[in-house]
C-alpha cells in the first residue's frame, strides 16, 4: 500500500513523504559523484600542474567519511525503490557497487587499486541511483495518469 492510498494520512504528510523520497536517490547520486570528483580531479590537477603535488593534501579519513555518508543514503534509496518497483537487480548492482567502493577505500595502501576500484564502484552506484530515480518517477507518473483516468477509483455496484 502506498502513502497516497492511506485514508488516515493527512494531505501534508502524504506530500512530505512524496517529496522526500526522490531526493534520497538524488542525494545518493550526488555523494557518488563527489567521490568520483575526489578521485579524478586531484590526479588531473597534479598531472597538469606538477607543483600542486606538494600543496594538495587531503586527510585520508575523507574516504571513510564519504563512504559512511554514501552507504546509508544508498541503502535507503534502493530499499524505497525496491518497494516501489520491485527491481531486485538494481539493489544487487547498488550493493555490489558499494562493496567495490568499500574494498577500494580499504585498499588505500595501493593507490592505483584504491582509485580504480572507487571510480568503478561509484560509477556503478551513481548509474543505479539514476536508473532507480527514473523508474520511480515513471511509475509515479503512470499512477497519476491512471488515477486521473478513473482507473484507481473503486465503483460500487
Cell of 5: 492510498
Does the residue 154 lie in any domain? no
User: Between these two residues, 23 and 115, which has the higher pLDDT value?
Assistant: 115
Q: What's the maximum distance between 2 C-alpha atoms anywhere in the chain?
A: 80
Count of the separate structural domains present in the chain: 1
Condensed to tens digits (0 to 9), the pLDDT of residues 58-98 reads 677 878 888 888 888 888 888 888 888 889 999 999 999 99
Model pLDDT, residue 120:
93
- Specify if 1 maps to a domain: no
Question: Within its chain, how far is the Cα of 93 from the centroid?
Answer: 11
Name which residue leads in pLDDT, 112 or 157: 112
In a domain, 41, yes or no: yes
Contact between 55 and 31 under an 8 Å Cβ cutoff? The reply is no
Residue 130 included in any domain: yes
Q: State which residues form the domain around 62.
A: 10-146
Give the pLDDT band (50/70/90) at residue 131: very high
Residue 134 CA to residue 130 CA, distance in Å, equals: 6
**Mean confidence (pLDDT) of the chain:** 79
What is the reported pLDDT for 49? Answer: 80
Amino acid at each position: 500500500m502506498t502513502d497516497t492510498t492511506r485514508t488516515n494520512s493527512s494531505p501534508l504528510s502524504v506530500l512530505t513523504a512524496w517529496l522526500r523520497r526522490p531526493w534520497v536517490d538524488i542525494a545518493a547520486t550526488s555523494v557518488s559523484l563527489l567521490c568520483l570528483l575526489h578521485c579524478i580531479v586531484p590526479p588531473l590537477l597534479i598531472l597538469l600542474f606538477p607543483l600542486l603535488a606538494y600543496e594538495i593534501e587531503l586527510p585520508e579519513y575523507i574516504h571513510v567519511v564519504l563512504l559512511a555518508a554514501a552507504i546509508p543514503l544508498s541503502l535507503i534509496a534502493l530499499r524505497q525503490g525496491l518497494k516501489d518497483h520491485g527491481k531486485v537487480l538494481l539493489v544487487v548492482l547498488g550493493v555490489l557497487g558499494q562493496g567495490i567502493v568499500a574494498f577500494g577505500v580499504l585498499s588505500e595502501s595501493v593507490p592505483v587499486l584504491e582509485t580504480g576500484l572507487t571510480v568503478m564502484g561509484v560509477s556503478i552506484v551513481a548509474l543505479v541511483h539514476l536508473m532507480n530515480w527514473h523508474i520511480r518517477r515513471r511509475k509515479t507518473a503512470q499512477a497519476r495518469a491512471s488515477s486521473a483516468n478513473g482507473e484507481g477509483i473503486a465503483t460500487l455496484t
